[in-house]
Chains A and B, each alone.
Chain A
Amino acid sequence: MPTLVRKTLGEYRRSVIGWLIGISAFLSLYLSIYPSIRSNPEFYQQAALSKYPGPLKDLMGGLADIASGSGYLQTVVYQLLVPLLLIMCAMTLGTRAIAVPEEQGTLELTMTLPIDRRRLVLDRWAAFALSLLAVALVTLILVLALAAVGDLKVPAGNIVAAHAGLFLIAFFFGTLALTLGAATGKRAFALAVGGGYAVAGYVIETLGKSVDAISWLRWVSPFHYYLDGRPVFQGWPVGDYLVILGATAVLAMTAVLAFERRDVGV
């Protein structure tokens, strides 16, 4: 493993462990209460619908059939909250690749080493990807275990497919934050623009299903390629996932090219 990748993984380790603990705690809490929901489906379905009326229901992913294992898993894990957490994790790690060390002034010393600028960006990106992958894999195992224990009756293959999508959407937004940071060196800018795109993208995809005025925009939302295929219910939307992956690769290339030609630390 390249020295800089190893070093960057070391820098990320504590943050990765922190996010892992947080997301795992969330998953454990929500998935462990499923048995009580299954035992009283009508009540909880009604409670959910009355708590999130109208467009809020769409924002929560429709809330269809939340007392079923698949419906519950989709609503509490794969629809909104866990993607939100993992995207925040990814964007935090992404900005720490270039923008944060540049603002702190520690990047300058790294740049005086005989490391090619492209290599620097790619190594930091690789370490970010590996760290995020570690978070995704551990949480996948946890979801599989909790789904089995709670008897959610969702095929393991579908859980893996949904989790892969979860990883990809976070990978995309983390890479976006990394790229914005590599192009500008500004952490706050990268988080604001990346986060703004994530929120707008999510709203467009979910509300766009019933609001015709914005439904034509859904294709620009990364979430479209994650949510529209309903992986928890239908398994791998391979084509959609490849779109996210392709867009992420384009972003990474952009990061390399933008960083290559820029003044650092000014």
Chain B
Amino acid sequence: MTAVVETEGLTKFYGRRKGLEDLTLQIQPGEVFGYLGPNGAGKTTTIRLLLDVIRPTSGRATVFGADTRDTAVRGRIGYPPGELALEGRERAHDFLTFMADVRGGVSRGRIDELAERLDADLSIRMGQLSKGNRQKVGLIQAFMHEPELLILDEPTSGLDPLVQHEFLAMVREVRTAGRTVLMSSHVLAEVENVADRVGIVRAGRLVAVEDVAALRERAVRHVEFHFDAPVPKEAFEDLLGVRDVTVEGASLRCTIDGRPDALIKAAAKFTVVHMVSSEPDLEEIFLTYYSEEAPRAHAGA
């Protein structure tokens, strides 16, 4: 199975300024890959290299097994630019029709269907579109030809919540259809629910690639149990992966790393009346990759 995206030592310097250095990465068919990093990390640089808008200083990148310079490759990619500039007096619908024509035609009604779904007004002239409508036009042109690879550069930044909801649903559909997605973001929360794997870039370098499921296993979770009678603290001490235990009468508070199994078994010896478990805080793990100090710094906190 050839990788959909494959890079080898991909490097880009803007003059003397580093954009991206020595990126080696593979994205497999059907995978949703979250590409995470703070501003200036090199996400947009990577994406523009894959789209052949800019050329690598060294290294190489292939998409669907072909060099990114191969024009045909871009016919199979959908891409809404991070900051979409649209100008001119052309109406949005005509512009989208032009894009569709260049892509060899899009089934009739597809543009209208997407416009309706996103509630976009396509009768407006391009130069006069509101920011929201502009983003919708960007999304429509990226999804309309049902691309095999979707490349999204911080897609939800600035989308209004309703559009964002619809957009995430569209990404999930693409994923269900078995197509491939590369989605960049500077916040984990944006991709953790759709991504299978996340790659973390910092200062132009890929510092980690993680399975989201594995990340979740390692995630920190705050848990509260309420019992029908006071419980002894000792019953919950020295459990595997359980720390910060506090007991106040009939309630227990603690933090778990990874699996809750040991805690659940210990709690089952008493009568549980109520239980609260926070969402795993992947952000906390994720942030450790950003700071150069020891990973998992939170473990000692």
Contact = CB atoms under 8 A, between A and B. Distances in A.
Contacts of B138: 109
Nearest to B142: A112
B90 interface: yes
Given A104-B85, A106-B85, A263-B53, A114 B71 contact: yes
Contact of A113 (B84, B86, B90, B99): B99
B71 A265 contact: no
Contacts of A261: 55
Interface in A1-47: 3-4, 7, 10-11, 14
A114 B72 contact: yes
Interface string B82-102: 011111111000000011011
B79 to A, nearest CB: 5
Contact of B74 (A7, A11, A101, A114): A114
A111 B53 contact: yes
Contacts of A266: 14, 54
Interface in A116-144: 116
B295 interface: no
Contacts of B81: 105, 108-109, 112
A4 B90 contact: no
B232 to A, nearest CB: 64
A10 B104 CA distance: 20
Contacts of A101: 87
Contact of A3 (B54, B55, B83, B98): B98
A203 interface: no
Contacts of B73: 114
A106 B83 CA distance: 10
Interface residues of B, number: 31
A263 B54 contact: yes
Contact of B102 (A4, A11, A106): A4
Contact of B89 (A14, A112, A116, A262): A14
A112 B74 contact: yes
Given A3-B102, A11-B88, A105-B85, A112 B55 contact: no
Interface string B50-92: 0111110000000000000001111101010101111111100
A115 interface: yes
A105 B83 contact: yes
Contact of A111 (B14, B51, B90, B99): B51
B11 interface: no
B103 interface: yes
A76 interface: no
Contacts of B83: 105
Contacts of A113: 74, 99, 102-103
Contacts of A80: none
A105 B138 CA distance: 13
Contacts of B255: none
B17 to A, nearest CB: 10
Nearest to B126: A106
Interface string A84-124: 00000000000000000100111011011111100000000
B279 to A, nearest CB: 36
B79 A11 contact: no
Contact of B71 (A14, A108, A109, A116): A116
Interface of A: 3-4, 7, 10-11, 14, 101, 104-106, 108-109, 111-116, 261-266
Given A10-B90, A109-B81, 4 more contacts: A104-B85, A113-B103, A114-B72, A114-B102
14 contacts: A101-B87, A104-B87, A105-B85, A106-B88, A112-B51, A112-B77, A112-B79, A112-B81, A114-B72, A114-B75, A114-B104, A263-B55, A265-B53, A266-B14
